[in-house]
Structure 1
Amino acid sequence: MNKRSCFIASLFLLPGISMAQNIGNPGSNHGNKFEQLGTILPDANVYRSASGAPGPKYWQQKADYEISATLNDEKQRLDGSETITYTNNSPDALTYLWLQLDENEHKKDAESAAFETSKIQPKMSTRDLQTIIGHNLDLGNHIESVKDAAGNSLKYTINQTMMRIELPKVLLPNQKFVFKIVWWYNISDRNTIGGRGGYELFPEDGNYLYTMAQWFPRMAVYSDFQGWQNKQFTGRGEFALTFGDYKVSINVPADHVVNGTGLCSNYAQVLTSQQLTRWSQAQTAKEPVEIVTLAEARQAMKGNVKTRKTWNFHAENVRDFAWVSSRRLVWDAMATVVDGGKKVMAQSLYGPEAYPLYRRYSTKLVAHTLKVYSKHTITYPYPSAISVEANNGMEYPMICFNYGRAEKDGTYTEATKNGMTGVIIHEVGHNFFPMIVNSDERQWTWMDEGLNTFCQFLAEQEWDNRFPSNRGPAHKIVDYMKLPKDELEPIMTNSENIVRFGPSQYAKPATGLNILRETIMGRELFDYAFKTYAGRWAFKHPTPADLFRTMEDASAVDLDWFWRGWFYGTDPVDISVDSVKYYRMDTRNPNLENAYDRAVADRALESISAKRNRESGVDFAVNTDTALLDFYGKYDKFATTPSATQAYQKLYAGLSAEEKALYDAKNYFYEVSFSNRGGLAMPLIIEWTYADGSREVEKISAYIWRKDERHISKVFAKTKEVKSIKLDPYRETADIDEINNSWPREYVPSRFEIFKQQVLPRGSAPGLNPMQQTRGNQ
Structure 2
Amino acid sequence: MNKFYPALLSCLLAASASWAQHDNNPGSNHGNRFEQLGTMLNTPNGYRSASGAPGPQYWQQKADYDIYAKLDDDKQRLDGSETITYTNNSPDALTYLWVQLDENQHKKDGEAAKMNESKMQSKMSIRQLQGIMGTDLDLGNHIESVKDANGGALPFTINETMMRIELPAPLLHGQKFKFKVNWWYNISDRMTIGGRGGYEYFPEDNNYLYTMTQWYPRMAVYSDFQGWQNKQFIGSGEFALTFGDFKVSMNVPADHLVGGTGQCSNYAQTLTAAQLGRWNKAQTSTTPVEIVTLDEVKNTMKSHATARKTWTFHAENVRDFAWVSSRRIVWDAMSAQIEGGRKAMAMSYYGPEAYPLYRKYSTKVVAHTIKTYSKHTIPYPYPVAISVEAANGMEYPMICFNFGRAEKDGTYSEATKNGMIGVIIHEVGHNFFPMIVNSDERQWTWMDEGLNTFVQYLTEQEWDPKFPSSRGPAYKIVDYMKMPKNQLEPIMTNSENIIMFGPNAYAKPATALNVLRETVMGRELFDYAFKTYAKRWAFKHPTPEDLFRTMEDASAVDLDWFWRGWFYGTEAVDVSLDSVKYYRLNTKNPALEANGDRAAFDHNLENISTTRNKAAGMQFAVEADTSLQDFYSKWDRFAATPMTTKGYQDMYAGLSPDEKKFYDSKSYFYELTFSNKGGLVTPLIIEWTYADGTKEIDNIPAYIWRKNEFKVSKVFAKSKEVKSIKLDPYRQTADIDEANNSWPREYTPSRFELFKQQVLPRGATSGSNPMQDARKGGQ
Task: Report the TM-score range of the alignment, normalised by the length of the smaller protein.
Answer: over 0.9
Cα distance in 2 for partners of 1:769, 1:636 equals: 75
- Judged with a 3 Å threshold, the aligned counterparts in structure 2 of structure 1 residues 521 and 98 are, in CA distance, closer, same or farther, namely same
Please state if 1:78 is matched with 2:78: yes
Amino acid at match of 1:156: F
Which residue of 2 is the match for residue 480 of structure 1? 480
Equivalent in the alignment of 1:393: 393
Contact 2:13/2:489 (CA < 8 Å) preserved in 1?
A: no
Residue matched to 2:717: 717
Judged with a 3 Å threshold, the aligned counterparts in structure 2 of structure 1 residues 689 and 745 are, in CA distance, closer, same or farther, namely same
Q: Which ranges in structure 1 are unaligned for 5 or more consecutive residues?
A: none
Q: CA deviation at 1:649?
A: 1.4
Cα offset, 1:668, TM superposition: 1.2
Tell me the secondary structure at the aligned position of residue 579 of structure 1: strand
Cα offsets for 1:252-298 (capped at 9, x unmatched): 00000001000000000000000000000000111101110001111
Q: Please give the residue correspondences for 1:184-199 in structure 2 after superposition, counting only pairs within 5 Å.
A: 184-199=184-199
Counterpart in the other structure of 2:450: 450
**1:303 aligned residue:** 303
Q: Secondary structure, in 3 states, of the residue corresponding to 2:96?
A: strand
**Deviation string, structure 1 residues 642-692 (Cα, Å, up to 9, x no partner):** 222222212211111110011112211111111000000110001111111
Query: What is aligned with 1:752?
Result: 752
Q: Residue in 1 aligned with 2:212? A: 212
Letter in 1 for 2:462: E
Alignment-derived partner of residue 44 in structure 1: 44
What whole-Å deviation, never above 9, does each CA across 1:450-497 have from its counterpart, x for those lacking one? 000000000000000000000000000000011001100000000000
Letter in 2 for 1:321: F
Distance 2:10 2:22 in 1: 14
Would the aligned equivalents of 2:338 and 2:370 in 1 still touch at CA under 8 Å?
yes
Any conservation in 2 of the 1:107–1:140 contact (CA below 8 Å)?
yes
Contact 1:52 1:546 in 2 (8 A): yes
Secondary structure at the counterpart of residue 313 of structure 1: strand
How far apart in 2 are the matches of 1:26 and 1:5? Answer: 25
How far, CA to CA, are the matches of 2:518 and 2:619 in structure 1?
66
> The residue matched to 1:302 in structure 2 has which SS?
coil
In the other structure, the counterpart of 1:135 is 135
Task: State the match for 1:583 in structure 2.
Answer: 583
Shift of 1:607: 2.7
Q: Partners of 1:679 and 1:598 in 2: how far apart?
A: 45
Deviations 1:337-381 (A, max 9, x none): 011110100000000000000000000000000000000000000
Aligned to 1:239: 239
Residue aligned with 1:190, SS: coil
Correspondence 1:123 to 2:123: yes
What is the rounded CA distance, in whole Å, between the counterparts of 2:523 and 2:52 in structure 1?
20
Task: State whether residues 92 and 172 of structure 1, in contact with CA within 8 Å, keep that contact through their aligned partners in structure 2.
Answer: yes
Question: Does structure 2 retain, via aligned residues, the 8 Å contact 1:20–1:568?
Answer: no
1:728 alignment partner in structure 2? 728
8 A contact 1:396–1:431 mirrored in 2: yes
Equivalent position of 1:762 in the other structure: 762
1:694 match: 694
> Is the 8 Å Cα contact of residues 9 and 493 (structure 2) preserved in structure 1?
no
* Cα displacement (A) at 1:617: 3.7
Cα contact 2:97–2:166 (8 A) shared by 1:
yes
The answer for the alignment partner of 1:337 in structure 2 is: 337
Aligned residue identity for 1:82 = E
Alignment-mate amino acid for residue 561 of structure 2: W
Equivalent residue number for residue 776 of structure 2? 776
CA separation of 1:765 and 1:509: change in aligned 2, threshold 3 A: closer
Partners of 1:200 and 1:209 within 8 A in 2 = yes
Aligned counterpart, 1:68: 68
Q: Which amino acid aligns with 2:512?
A: G
Contact 1:13 1:443 in 2 (8 A): no
8 Å CA contact 1:12, 1:494 repeated in 2: no
CA shift for structure 1 position 108: 1.1
Cα RMSD (Å) of the superposition?
1.4
Structure 2 counterpart of 1:260: 260
In the alignment, does 2:525 pair up with 1:525?
yes
CA distance, structure 2, for counterparts of residue 8 and residue 403 of structure 1: 37
Matched residue type, 1:482: K
* Counterpart code for 2:410: G
1:609 Cα shift? 3.8
Q: Distance in 2 between matches of 1:589 and 1:292?
A: 87
Larger displacement relative to structure 2 (107-116 or 502-511): 107-116
Matched residue, 1:640: 640
Q: Could you tell me which residue of structure 1 aligns to residue 558 of structure 2?
A: 558
- Compare 616-625 and 668-677 and name the one that shifted more: 616-625
Q: Is the 8 A contact 1:685 1:697 kept in 2?
A: yes
Residue 632 of structure 1, CA deviation: 3.7
Distance 1:18 1:112, change over 3 A: farther
Paired with 2:291 and 2:389, the residues of 1 have a C-alpha distance of 16
Q: 1:749 to 1:9 in 2, by over 3 A?
A: closer
* Unaligned 5+ runs, structure 2: none
Q: Structure 1 residues 185, 19: closer, same or farther in 2, change over 3 A?
A: farther
CA contact (8 A) 2:16 2:489 kept: yes
Q: Distance in 2 between matches of 1:394 and 1:411?
A: 25
1:413 corresponds in structure 2 to 413
1:539 maps to: 539
| CA–CA separation in structure 1 for the residues paired with 2:768 and 2:689 | 46
| Overall identity of the aligned pairs, in % | 74
- Is the 1:14–1:493 Cα contact (8 Å) retained in structure 2? no
Counterpart residue type for residue 178 of structure 2: V
| 1:365 aligned partner, one-letter code | V
Give 1:7 deviation, angstroms.
Answer: 4.6
Q: Measured at CA, do residues 353 and 125 of structure 1 come closer, stay the same or move farther in structure 2, by a change above 3 Å?
A: same
Partner-residue secondary structure (3-state), 2:475: helix
Distance 2:624 2:107 in 1: 106
| Cα deviation digits, residues 471-524 of structure 1 (max 9, x gap) | 000000000011001100000000000000000000000000000111110110
Amino acid at match of 2:576: S
Asked if residue 439 in structure 1 is aligned to residue 439 in structure 2, the reply is: yes
- CA distance in 2 between counterparts of 1:166 and 1:484 reads 48
- Which residue pairs with 2:571 in the alignment? 571
Residue 211 to residue 20, structure 1, CA distance change in 2 (3 Å): farther
DSSP 3-state at the match of 2:179: strand
Q: Matched residue of 2:592: which SS? A: helix
- What CA distance in whole angstroms lies between the structure 2 residues aligned with 1:101 and 1:15? 33
Find the aligned partners of 2:245 and 2:508 in 1 and give their Cα distance.
35
Cα-to-partner distance string for 1:90-147 (whole Å, 9 max, x where unaligned): 0111100001000000001110101211111111122211111110000000000000
Q: For residues 176-191 of structure 1, what are the structure 2 equivalents within 5 Å?
A: 176-191=176-191
Q: CA deviation at 1:565?
A: 0.3
Tell me if the contact between 2:584 and 2:669 (Cα under 8 Å) persists in the aligned partners: yes
> 1: CA distance between counterparts of 2:590 and 2:542?
69
**1:106, 1:140 within 8 Å by CA — same for their partners in 2?**
yes
Deviations along 1:618-642, one digit per CA (max 9) or x if unpaired, are 3221122123224543443323232
Determine if contact 1:9/1:226 at 8 Å carries over to the other structure: no
Deviations 1:154-212 (A, max 9, x none): 00000000000000000000111010000000000011111000000001111000000
* Distance in 2 between residues matched to 1:719 and 1:509, nearest whole Å: 40
The answer to whether the Cα contact below 8 Å between 1:19 and 1:568 also exists between their aligned partners in 2 is no
| SS of residue matched to 2:564 | helix
Q: Distance in 2 between matches of 1:17 and 1:6?
A: 19
Cα 1:3/1:387, change in 2 over 3 Å: closer
Amino acid at match of 1:31: G
Aligned twin of 1:679:
679
Tell me what 2:282 maps to: 282
Q: TM-score normalised to the size of structure 2?
A: 0.98
Residues 252 and 597 of structure 1: CA distance in aligned 2, closer, same or farther (over 3 Å): same
Q: Is the 8 A contact 1:574 1:676 kept in 2?
A: yes
Equivalent residue for 1:459? 459
Opposite residue 367 of structure 1, the aligned amino acid is A
SS in 1 for 2:675: strand
Paired residues of 1:71 and 1:79 also in contact (CA < 8 A):
yes
Tell me if structure 1 keeps the 8 A contact 2:12–2:490.
Answer: no
Q: Secondary structure at the match of 1:565?
A: helix
Q: Equivalent residue for 1:226? A: 226
Q: What are the superposed Cα offsets for residues 571-615 of structure 1, whole Å, 9 maximum, x if unpaired?
A: 010000101111111222232334332211100012344344435
The alpha carbon displacement at 1:9 in A equals: 6.0
TM-score between both structures, scaled by the size of structure 1: 0.98
Q: Distance in 1 between matches of 2:6 and 2:511?
A: 30
Secondary structure of the equivalent of 1:145?
Answer: strand
Match of 2:301, SS?
A: helix
C-alpha spacing 1:685/1:17, structure 2 compared with 1 (3 Å): closer
User: Counterpart in 1 of 2:607?
Assistant: 607
Aligned to 1:90: 90
